[in-house]
Structure 1
Amino acid sequence: MEFKRLTLDNLDSEHICCAITDKKGESGVSSKKDWLRKRLSEGLVFDKLDVRGKVFIEYIPAEKAWCPIVADNYMFINCFWVSGQYKGQGYANLLLERCINDSKEKGKEGIVILSTEKKMPFLSDPKYLKYKGFKIADKAVPYYELLYLPFSAQANIPQFKEFVKNDLIDHKGWVIYYTNQCPHTEKYVPILINHLTSKGFAVQAIKLDTTEQGQKAPNPFTTYALFYNGKFITNEILSEKSFDKLLIKMKIC
């Protein structure tokens, strides 16, 4: 099987490998493709196995990353996913190797990626990344790790911006920060807002629409971050059912 790179010419026709299928009129897929279209001119690369499956890596120069970090002259991996029948066949290694080689050719000092202490939904597996040589550059509460793979001993060490190292915001009630970096958000954020409203909860959705907003976000995972009464709760994109389970766990009626 061969790998394929998304371009402005093939983006509309290509399956973008995410869990939401490319159904006609699917708002999540179209919003993600619109987001990609704007980022391609900023140096974003989306490499995928030429199949209708979730086998891809998406990365961008760290200066353009929608993440509150300082990682000058690094490449930032937005999303790295191999799943289903394609696991265990070496595709993750091949995709990562393509990213490394491309980054070196572009004169980067290394690669940086957002991960967690233990594997969490929607974030890359820290165990695999550390096995491949990534090291911890910085940490942010409650569980985020900024991992990096330097190409030389002289490479700068990336960092989280200081304001994002706690897990607090100055808002009451439920607040969701999100972007169209993931196709799930355009679908599930409105569903969760309606669900919260039906339960009588106050809720505010804050959509980050620009790189600058992403780099000033109060949580490292700008794709989706749920807060309650000013405290970060989860980065997991929730359905009504999973939110109700969360309420029970938090003992909120």
Structure 2
Amino acid sequence: MSGNFINLNTKNIADEHISCIIRSRKPHVGIEAKKTWIFNRLKEGHIFRKLDVKAPVFIEYAPLEKAWVPIDGENYYYIYCLWVDGIYKKKGYGESLMNYCIDDAKKNNKSGICMLSAKKQKAWLSDKSFAKKFGFKAVDTTENGYELLALSFDGNNPKFLENAKSEKIDNENLTIYYSMQCPFIYQNIEKIKEYCKLENILVSLVEVNTLKDAKNMPCVFNNYAVFYKGEFKTVNLVDVSYIKRLFKE
């Protein structure tokens, strides 16, 4: 394993690419929205650490008290995403990024680290089996199979807020909650908006743009959540084919 790691900060964020989408010559609204979101979180202790390559090799985490997720716990870090892709897999980069987070947590006397997972591995969530190699264990669950994994240093564990276990809303329409924390979201929402308009589908697109709103979500939430007929469906970014299947149910 070789290469340099970079932590984004207020001085370098304008010039550095974010690893999940590599900057192209054309402007990308999702990237700029993501950078703005990170910039506003840096003063809260948000960390985005990446390998200095043009590929997805990074970890993103924050103090749980400031993390935009409906999870309660004191003195924890919350991992939003740990992603190693392509030719960089199986070269120790994932272990290096996770160990950095663990060392950072211990250095700052944190009680532990937590992350969203599921009993059955789901897309858009970090690898559960990988996390368990470091000692992460399920400390809370929801009825539809999502889990909260935690690596505790002192025996204290976080938990899902009760509102996250509701998984119901009054709106019967297709409803998508989202934040601009992920650069893929802007284009995803625009495509869904266009399709629903074309097919005369009633859709409610709700931007979650404050910490309070994120903590009060009626379901698990990492930056995206889908409801239909008042029932929670997924935290995965969905495409048009998913919506077609959903309306056939």
Is the structural similarity TM-score above 0.5? yes
Which digits, 9 at most, give the CA deviation of each residue in 1:171-204, with x for residues without a partner?
A: 1111000001101111111210221222121111
1:60 touches 1:77 (CA, 8 Å); kept in 2?
A: yes
Mean Cα deviation higher: 113-122 or 40-49: 113-122
Partner of 2:117: 115
1:20 and 1:144 map into 2 onto residues whose CA distance is 30
Q: Which deviates more from structure 2 when the two are superposed, residues 188-197 or residues 34-43?
A: 188-197
TM-score where L is the length of structure 1: 0.93
Give how far 1:18 is off: 0.7
**SS of residue in 1 equivalent to 2:19:** coil
Report the AA paired with residue 248 of structure 2: K
Q: CA deviation at 1:83?
A: 0.8
Deviation at 1:240, TM superposition (A): 2.3
**How do residues 1-253 of structure 1 correspond to structure 2 at under 5 angstroms?**
1-19=3-21, 21-152=23-154, 155-244=155-244, 246-247=245-246, 251-252=248-249
Letter paired with 1:37:
F
AA matched with 1:136: A
Q: Distance in 2 between matches of 1:137 and 1:97?
A: 21
Match of 2:80, SS?
strand
Distance 2:25 2:208 in 1: 25
**Cα–Cα, structure 1 residues 83 and 146, in superposed 2: closer, same or farther, change >3 Å?**
same
Q: Residues 186 and 23 (structure 1 numbering): CA distance in 2 closer, same or farther, change over 3 Å?
A: farther
CA-based RMSD: 1.4
What amino acid does structure 2 have at the position aligned with 1:160?
F
Secondary structure of residue in 1 paired with 2:113: strand
Deviation at 1:239, TM superposition (A): 2.6
Matched-pair contact (CA < 8 Å) for 1:173–1:229: yes
| Deviations, residues 155-177 of structure 1 (Å, cap 9, x unaligned) | 31110001211321111111000
Q: Separation in 1 of the partners of 2:24 and 2:32?
A: 8
SS in 1 for 2:54: coil
Structure 1 regions of 5+ residues with no counterpart?
none
Please give the alpha-carbon distance, in whole angstroms, between the structure 2 residues aligned to 1:19 and 1:37: 17
Residue 4 of structure 1 aligns with an amino acid whose one-letter code is: I
Deviation of 1:20 (Å): 5.8
How many residues end up aligned between the 2 structures?
247
Aligned identity (percent) is 39
Cα 1:191–1:203 shift into 2, 3 Å:
same
Deviations 1:49-71 (A, max 9, x none): 11111000011000001011111
Unpaired runs of 5+ residues, structure 2, are none
SS in 2 for 1:204: strand
On the 8 A contact 2:59/2:79 being kept in 1, the answer is yes
Determine if contact 1:176/1:225 at 8 Å carries over to the other structure: yes
